[in-house]
Amino acid sequence: MSKIIIIVITVLAFNSFHFTKAFGASLPPTIVSEAAIVLEANSGQILYEKNSKNQMYPASLTKIATAIYAIETGQLDDLVTVSSNARNAEGSKVYLEEGEKVTLNKLVQGLLINSGNDAGIAIAEHLSGSVEEFSNNINTYLNNVVKVDNTIFENPHGLFDSEHVTTAVDLAKITQYAMQNKVFQDIFGTKELDWDGETWDTTLITHHKLLKGEIPYKEVTGGKTGYINASGFTLATTAETNKLSLIVITLNSSTDDEAYHDTEKLLDYAFNNYETTTIQKGTIFKLENEQYRTVKNIFYTSSINWKVNKSVNSDGTLDIIEENGDLIANYQLEKKNLATPNIVEKGEKGFSFNLVSTFLVLILSLIALNLYFRFSKSSNPNYRE
C-alpha cells in the first residue's frame, strides 16, 4: 500500500512540474465572482480574466472614475456649496448639510474613503451644473482621455440605473489611469482620515478590509468597495511589490467574503507566477546593419518559469517572446541614424560623434601647424640650425 502511495505522489509531482513548464505558470484559481480581471499596471498586460468584457453594474466602483475626473478637471481648493439634492442622497454618506461649503478636495476624500453618495452629487453639480450634464461630460472623458469604450455612467456614485454599466476590463483601465495621479493615489490608499463636517465630526475609515488590515495582505496599497442589490458585491484593489503593480477587479460576488477571498486568490496567483521587467530608455537593439533604440522606458510582464527572448522586426518593432513561443508584447522602436551626432546610449560602445569630430579637428590642426613651421624654415634664407 505504501508503495502505491509513493508512486501516486511521484506521478502527481512529475505532472505538476511538466504542467508548469508547459504553460509557464501554475493553474489560475477558480473564483466565484461573476467577472474579474488582474491587470499589471506598468506593462498593461492582463494576467487573468473572467467575463472581463461583459457589461455589468459597478455600484460604488463608479466613484473611482468620478474622483479622477474631479481631480483632473476641477480645482481642488474650490469651495463647493452643498445643494439640497446632494444633502438628500440615498445610501452611504458623509452627512453634508444643505448650504455647507466644502472644498472639492475634501469631497473627493469623502467620496473615496467613506463612499459618500452626497459627496458624489455635490462634485457633479459643482463641475457640470447637474448630475445629467456631469454624466455626459464624464462619459466623454472616459472615452477620449482614459480610452475605454464599454462604459456608460448615468450618475457619479453608482446607485442603480439600468443603463449605468461598465466592464471589469474598463474598471481596471480606469483605475490604472487614475493611479498615475499622485493626489488620487494618496486618497485611494488612505486608511483613515479625520472628518470635521458642519454636523458630523468623525474619523473616516476605509471600507476596504484588505486595505485597512482587517484581512492582512501587506502588499495592498489601495481599494474601493461597492454594493447594490443589482450588482452584488464589487471590489477594486491595488497591490504592489518591487516586481509587480497589480490591479484586481471583482464584480457580482454573492457576499463580501467571496469578493475578498477571490481577490486574495488572484493576488496570490499573480505574485507567485509573474514579474515585470523594465527596458530602460535608450537601450540599443541591432538588426543586421541597423540599430534601433527605445525612446522611453518600456515594461513587460512574463512568467517567472519562462525565459524571454527579444527580437527586432524589419519595421522597427520589438517583440518580447516567451520561450514557449507566445508573444508577450510588441513595442515600436526608433531607428538610430548613425550619420548624425548623438549621445552614447546604454548598450552602445565607442565615442560619440561629437567627441570623434573634436579629436580629428585637433589632429588636423597640429599637422597644419607643423607644415607651416617647416615651410617657414625652408623659405627663410637667414635661418640657421
Beta carbons of 180 and 163 less than 8 angstroms apart: no
Per the annotation, the verdict on 336 as an active-site residue is no
Per the CB < 8 A criterion, the answer to whether 86 and 104 are in contact is no
- CA dist 254 and 229 (Å) reads 10
3-state SS, residue 354: helix
In the chain, the amino acid numbered 110 is G
- The count of C-alpha atoms lying within 13 angstroms of the C-alpha of 154, restricted to the half-sphere facing its C-beta, is 10
**Residue of 50, 63, 106, 173 marked catalytic:** 63
DSSP one-letter code for 143? I
In the set 52, 60, 135, 231, the catalytic residue is 60
Closest CA to 111 of 121, 101, 98: 121
Answer yes or no: are the C-beta atoms of 294 and 283 closer than 8 Å.
yes
Q: Which helix (H) or strand (E) holds 248?
A: strand 245-253
Find, among 317, 359, 310, the residue nearest to 335 by Cα.
Answer: 317
Q: How far is CA 6 from the centre of its chain?
A: 46
Q: Give CA separation, 75 vs 108, 134, 138, 179, 219, in Å.
A: 11, 16, 16, 19, 32
Q: What span, in angstroms and rounded, lies between the C-alpha atoms of 32 and 17?
A: 27
Which is the catalytic residue, given 115, 245, 253, 302? 115
Residue-by-residue DSSP string for 39-58: EETTT--EEEEESTTS-B--
* Class of residue 124 by CB neighbours under 10 A (exposed 0-12, middle 13-18, buried 19+): buried
63 catalytically annotated: yes
Cβ atoms of 291 and 349 within 8 Å: the answer is: no
298, β-bridge pairs: 279
Q: Which residues are catalytic?
A: 60, 63, 115
